[in-house]
Amino acid sequence: MFTVVFAVAVIFLTALIVDGGIAMNAKQRAADIAEQAARAAAGDINVATLRNSGVAQIGPGACTMAGQLVQRYAQGASTGVDTVTSAAMDACQVLGANTATVQVTITTRPLIPGILGSFTETARESATAQCGITTGAPC
């Protein structure tokens, strides 16, 4: 009897450890996706402004492109242990025409869905468009 109760407790604790790892991994992935989407948005430089004034400014369609990047990830994201149920870009702001800030939320399904609810992790990252290899260098 003791072995059966102990085995069930060990299995339950193991599942909790795995679910904790899934939650931490989801937070890291949300930060990574937000960082890559912000970098992609900042890389979408308005070529006409760059040629006319020499200033690197983010183009008008940068947030749309970043949103498509996040959606592509959400369609095929799974690590085998967990399943990303949604990866949505909550917000994309172009601040001062040269900084893009992206907020991403990832929701994952835990190993024991009946006991624990889903995990929702949010990350917010920014990227700045620059021209040249030195900050403030003219283009």
Q: What distance in Å separates the CA atoms of residue 63 and residue 129, rounded to the nearest whole number?
A: 14
Domain count, the chain: 1
Going by pLDDT thresholds of 50, 70 and 90, the confidence category of residue 37 is confident
Q: Half-sphere exposure of 122 toward its Cβ, with a 13 Å CA cutoff? A: 6
Is residue 137 included in any domain, yes or no? no
* Reported confidence tier of residue 68, pLDDT bands at 50, 70, 90: confident
DSSP for residue 78: B
Domain span at residue 102 reads 2-128
The pTM score is: 0.71
139 located within any domain: no
Pairing of strands 83-95, 119-128: unpaired
Render pLDDT for 76-92 as a digit per residue (tens, 0 to 9). 655 555 556 566 666 67
Q: Please check whether residue 53 lies inside any domain of the structure.
A: yes
User: Residue 118 and residue 130: Cα distance in Å, rounded?
Assistant: 39
Q: Report yes or no on 138 lying in a domain.
A: no
> CA-to-CA distance for 14 and 22, rounded, in angstroms?
12
In a domain? residue 97: yes
